Amino acid sequence: MTTAYHRKKQPELVRRQLLDCAVRLGLEHGPSGITVQAVSEAAGVTRGGLFHHFPSRQALVEGVYAEMVEKTDAEIDALMAKDTRPRGSFTRAYVQAVLNDPALKDGARGAVIHISALSEPSVRRLWADWFKQRMERHRDTDDAPTLDLVRLAADGAWIAHLMRSEGGPVPDLAALRERLVAMTLLE
């Protein structure tokens, strides 16, 4: 059996394991399932090891969301790189990324992680800061009332889809995504 004293230190792998376990526990048990004890046990790491990477439960939760924001940001950048029309390119990429969110396909399981952000002020702030920075960066191409409405409609559709009742009607997100993207081309 390998002990912590003989095991090669791999901080990035340990951090990755902690984040993966936090997400899995959040999916299985909701936000309250993401506890220091549960995550450290699931990851096979001591509480001290967890605190080495994340000084608090809050920092761990923020780490999970920061990673989600990074993935969204990378997806948006990739979509924008393929877009040949500068006007509205951020909004088109945003709509596509938001309405292609894997949590929407997972149904209620993935929704737990996203919806819990609504109750975490620091997580809401993380998303708000990211969005503000992106809008400042793309002000010249995406600062228009119609584009604001398109982004807000995408956000509303995303939240409505995540919050739907089990067995309730599911909107045709692909068709909505196409309509919203088409609206950006009118700007």
pLDDT for res 110: 54
In this structure, are 47 and 99 located in the same domain? Answer: no
Q: Is the pLDDT of residue 30 over 70?
A: yes
| Mean pLDDT, residues 130-139 | 95
Pick the most confident of 4-18, 124-138, 151-165.
124-138
Q: Is the pLDDT of residue 78 over 50?
A: yes
Please tell me whether the overall predicted TM-score, pTM, comes out greater than 0.85 for this model. Answer: no
In this structure, are 101 and 151 located in the same domain? Answer: yes
| Mean pLDDT, residues 108-113 | 55
User: The CATH number of the domain where 2 resides is what?
Assistant: 1.10.10.60
pLDDT for res 123: 83
pLDDT for res 5: 41
CA pair distance 53, 46, nearest whole angstrom: 11
pLDDT for res 55: 96
Vertex 24: Cα angle to 153 and 106 (nearest 5): 40
CA pair distance 27, 57, nearest whole angstrom: 16
In this structure, are 26 and 92 located in the same domain? Answer: no
pLDDT for res 157: 87
In this structure, are 104 and 51 located in the same domain? Answer: no
| Mean pLDDT, residues 34-42 | 94
pLDDT for res 161: 78
Torsion of CA 57, 62, 68, 69, to 10 degrees: 180
In this structure, are 45 and 115 located in the same domain? Answer: no
Nearest to 63 by CA among 102, 103, 120, 8: 120
* End residue of a domain, out of 55, 70, 94: 55
pLDDT for res 154: 93
| Mean pLDDT, residues 111-116 | 64
In what helix (H) or strand (E) does residue 7 lie, and over which residues does it extend? none
Ranges 69-78, 98-107, 108-117, 149-158: which has the least confidence: 108-117
In this structure, are 146 and 69 located in the same domain? Answer: yes
In this structure, are 119 and 180 located in the same domain? Answer: yes
* End residue of a domain, out of 32, 55, 78: 55
Domain that holds residue 46: 1-55
In this structure, are 153 and 69 located in the same domain? Answer: yes
In this structure, are 51 and 73 located in the same domain? Answer: no
| Mean pLDDT, residues 137-154 | 96
Burial class (CB in 10 A: 0-12, 13-18, 19+), 155: middle
In this structure, are 4 and 95 located in the same domain? Answer: no
* DSSP notation for 37-83: HHHHHHHT--HHHHHHH-SSHHHHHHHHHHHHHHHHHHHHHHHHHH-
Ranges 4-8, 61-65, 183-187: which has the least confidence: 4-8
In this structure, are 83 and 159 located in the same domain? Answer: yes
In this structure, are 128 and 77 located in the same domain? Answer: yes
If one counts the domains in the chain, the total is 2
CA pair distance 67, 86, nearest whole angstrom: 27
